[in-house]
């Protein structure tokens, strides 16, 4: 599968069929998106012909894709559904490799026959199809973006290691917006639509071999082929983490999913069992999906489930302990040797007498970064500790900016670290600086628990296979 679908994400030339000069029309919005940051050749196609002006550039409008003098790798199709099968034939005659069908009005609208015809024609020509009824694909690396939501309404995230695919276009758009706002980097976004041809399993296998993707995430309502999905997931999770937010977990939700993309939602219990057996991490919310993804994109999986906590706020340490235990993880029992190190440091005046060095290790509210560093090092040197959670309440004036360098240095131990920094503007600024050093930072204790859980769960799965 390696590179097999590269033409969809790295096309040299693209034709927009249904291109329009009228602002607000889908064909106009797609032209705006594609021509914003993409260096490849872009051709406008509309039966009316003429010329259109998009993003300050003039484009000749071809009446048919067959009139374009050059080769075309991908066609983005936004014409009424009834014309799509004939357009596919024209694409086939032109030698197009992939078609992204934005048009709706197929299976989801009770026209399964039209969708079958579309697939039949595409197969005849060997064209791979994304959609129909989708937002298209976005490659954040090269700017190839056929998403018709305008950038002033829906931001695009920066380029990064997380790929996301979605069966819902609207939810996919919200995720892209959310990722941009939270500074989460993405490699590729795929709006799956009705999955008449290419489905979540095909893209999972493609992303498995994609060097730009470290973590694969997805929103799904149901899978098309259970066996194919299970096998693809099993193969992929050996190489990189897969995190899925499955909608339709309740009976009512399953019915809604069936009417939305025409997908068979199936019993959630069956999905849960399939996820568990194939190593897929199951997220229950959008936020949890990205907590898992961010942790796994930035840290290596844990070797075990024993967690140590270092905090300057006792309450936050207790909350973290509760959350970890409720998630089925263990609080590390610090070794006698580690306890001796703390005792000695207190006797030598390097650490204050009134701190607690049970786990959670409470360095207390007046802790500067040097005190954090000592406690963190002792915790990471302990063979009983698999993962470290650091909680920093930056509201304390004692906690200096040296904590940024501390977090960079302590990664030399090679154990996964999660950082929690609750609060407003200042903690957020510090969080961005710490993340630049490679440690993921989370806004709440609950988010931090999610992150630790993902590192442990995926790490234990890898050990078992």
Over residues 58-113, the pLDDT tens digits come to 999 999 999 999 999 999 999 999 999 999 999 999 999 999 999 999 999 999 99
Span 440-454, average pLDDT: 98
Q: Residue 174 — φ and ψ, nearest 5°? A: -65, -40
- Full DSSP string of 334-358: --HHHHHHHHHHHHTTSS-TT-B-S
Q: Residue 137 — φ and ψ, nearest 5°? A: -120, 155
* Distance, first Cα to last Cα, the chain: 22
The pLDDT confidence band at residue 150, using thresholds 50, 70 and 90, is confident
Span 107-125, average pLDDT: 97
Under 8 Å between Cβ of 163 and 85: no
319-336 per-position pLDDT tens digit: 999 999 999 999 999 999
Q: Which residues, including other chains, have CB under 8 Å from residue 212's CB and lie 6 or more apart? A: 141, 161, 187, 188
Q: Is the pLDDT of residue 258 over 60?
A: no
Give me the pLDDT at residue 267, please.
Answer: 74
Strongest mean pLDDT among 51-55, 268-272, 366-370: 366-370
Q: Judge if the upstream peptide bond of residue 360 is cis by omega within 30 degrees of 0.
A: yes
- CA–CA distance, 68 with 91 (Å, rounded to integer): 11
- CA–CA distance, 417 with 323 (Å, rounded to integer): 17
* Residue 28 tokens, joined: 């106009």
Examine domains 6-296 and 300-464 and report if their fold is the same: yes
- R_g of the chain computed on alpha carbons: 25
The pLDDT confidence band at residue 346, using thresholds 50, 70 and 90, is very high
Give me the pLDDT at residue 260, please.
Answer: 46
Where do we find the tokens 């006698």? 336
Span 290-299, average pLDDT: 97
Give me the pLDDT at residue 224, please.
Answer: 85
Span 179-194, average pLDDT: 94
236 burial type by CB count under 10 A (0-12 exposed, 13-18 middle, 19+ buried): buried
Where do we find the tokens 């904590």? 403
Span 405-428, average pLDDT: 97
Span 439-458, average pLDDT: 98
The pLDDT confidence band at residue 256, using thresholds 50, 70 and 90, is low
Q: In percent, how much of the chain has pLDDT > 70?
A: 96
- CA–CA distance, 301 with 458 (Å, rounded to integer): 6
> Closest by alpha carbon to 148, among 25, 7, 21, 10?
25
In this structure, the number of other CB atoms found within 10 A of the CB of residue 73 comes to 19
DSSP 158: P
Q: In percent, how much of the chain has pLDDT > 90?
A: 89
Q: Which long-range contacts (CB under 8 A, 24 or more apart) does 44-47 make?
A: 44/15, 44/16, 44/19, 45/15, 45/16, 45/17, 45/18, 45/19, 46/17, 46/18, 46/19, 46/20
2-57 per-position pLDDT tens digit: 579 999 999 999 999 999 999 999 999 999 999 999 999 999 999 999 999 999 99
Q: Is the pLDDT of residue 253 over 80?
A: no
- CA–CA distance, 54 with 301 (Å, rounded to integer): 46
- CA–CA distance, 313 with 407 (Å, rounded to integer): 18
> Closest by alpha carbon to 432, among 155, 440, 424, 290?
440
348-367 per-position pLDDT tens digit: 999 999 999 999 999 999 99
- Name the CATH superfamily, with its identifier, for domain 300-464: Succinyl-CoA synthetase domains (3.40.50.261)
| Averaged pLDDT of the chain | 94
Q: Is the pLDDT of residue 1 over 70?
A: no
Span 214-239, average pLDDT: 95
Higher pLDDT, 185 or 151: 185
Give me the pLDDT at residue 262, please.
Answer: 46
> Closest by alpha carbon to 447, among 431, 429, 458?
431
The DSSP bridge pattern shows strands 144-145 and 137-139 to be antiparallel
Q: Is the pLDDT of residue 451 over 60?
A: yes
Give me the pLDDT at residue 465, please.
Answer: 86
Q: Is the pLDDT of residue 259 over 60?
A: no
CATH code for residues 6-296: 3.40.50.261
The domain locations on the chain are 6-296, 300-464
Give me the pLDDT at residue 265, please.
Answer: 47
The DSSP bridge pattern shows strands 137-139 and 186-191 to be antiparallel
């Amino acid at each position: 599968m390696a590179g097999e679908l590269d033409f969809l994400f790295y096309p040299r030339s693209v034709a927009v069929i249904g291109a329009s000069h009228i602002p607000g029309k889908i064909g106009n919005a797609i032209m705006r998106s594609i021509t914003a940051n993409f260096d490849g050749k872009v051709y406008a196609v509309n039966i009316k012909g003429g010329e259109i002006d998009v993003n300050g550039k003039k484009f000749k409008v071809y009446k048919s894709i067959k009139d374009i003098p050059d080769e075309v790798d991908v066609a983005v199709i936004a014409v009424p559904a009834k014309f799509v099968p004939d357009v596919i034939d024209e694409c086939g005659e032109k030698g197009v490799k992939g078609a992204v069908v934005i048009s709706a009005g197929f299976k989801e609208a009770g026209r399964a026959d039209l969708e079958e015809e579309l697939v039949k024609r595409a197969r005849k020509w060997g064209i791979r199809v994304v959609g129909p009824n989708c937002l298209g694909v976005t490659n954040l690396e090269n700017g190839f973006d056929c998403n018709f939501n305008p950038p002033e309404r829906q931001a695009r995230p920066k380029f990064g290691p997380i790929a996301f695919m979605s069966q819902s276009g609207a939810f996919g758009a919200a995720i892209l917006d959310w990722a941009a706002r939270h500074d989460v980097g993405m490699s590729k976004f795929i709006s799956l639509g009705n999955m008449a041809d290419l489905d979540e399993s095909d893209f999972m296998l493609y992303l498995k071999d994609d060097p730009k993707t470290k973590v694969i995430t997805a929103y799904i309502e149901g899978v098309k082929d259970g066996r194919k999905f299970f096998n693809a997931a099993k193969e992929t999770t050996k190489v990189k983490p897969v995190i899925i937010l499955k909608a339709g977990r309740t009976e009512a939700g399953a019915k809604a999913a069936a009417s939305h993309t025409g997908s068979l939602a199936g019993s959630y219990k069956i999905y849960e069992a399939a996820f568990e057996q194939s190593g897929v991490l199951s997220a229950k919310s959008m936020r949890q999906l990205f907590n898992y993804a961010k942790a796994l994109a930035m840290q290596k999986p844990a070797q075990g489930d024993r967690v140590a906590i270092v905090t300057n706020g006792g309450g936050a340490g207790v909350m973290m302990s509760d959350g970890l235990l409720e998630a089925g993880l263990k609080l590390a029992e610090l070794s006698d040797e580690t306890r001796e190190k703390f005792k000695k440091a207190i006797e030598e005046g390097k650490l204050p007498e009134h701190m607690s060095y049970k786990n959670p290790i409470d360095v207390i509210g007046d802790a500067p970064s040097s005190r954090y560093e000592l406690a963190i090092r002792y915790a990471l040197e302990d063979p009983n500790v698999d993962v470290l959670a650091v909680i920093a309440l930056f509201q304390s004036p004692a906690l200096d900016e040296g904590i940024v360098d501390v977090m960079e240095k302590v990664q030399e131990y090679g154990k996964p670290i999660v950082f929690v920094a609750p609060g407003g503007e200042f903690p957020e600024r510090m969080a961005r600086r710490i993340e630049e050093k490679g440690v993921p930072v989370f806004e709440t204790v609950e988010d931090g628990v999610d992150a630790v859980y993902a590192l442990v769960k995926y790490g234990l799965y890898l050990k078992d296979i």
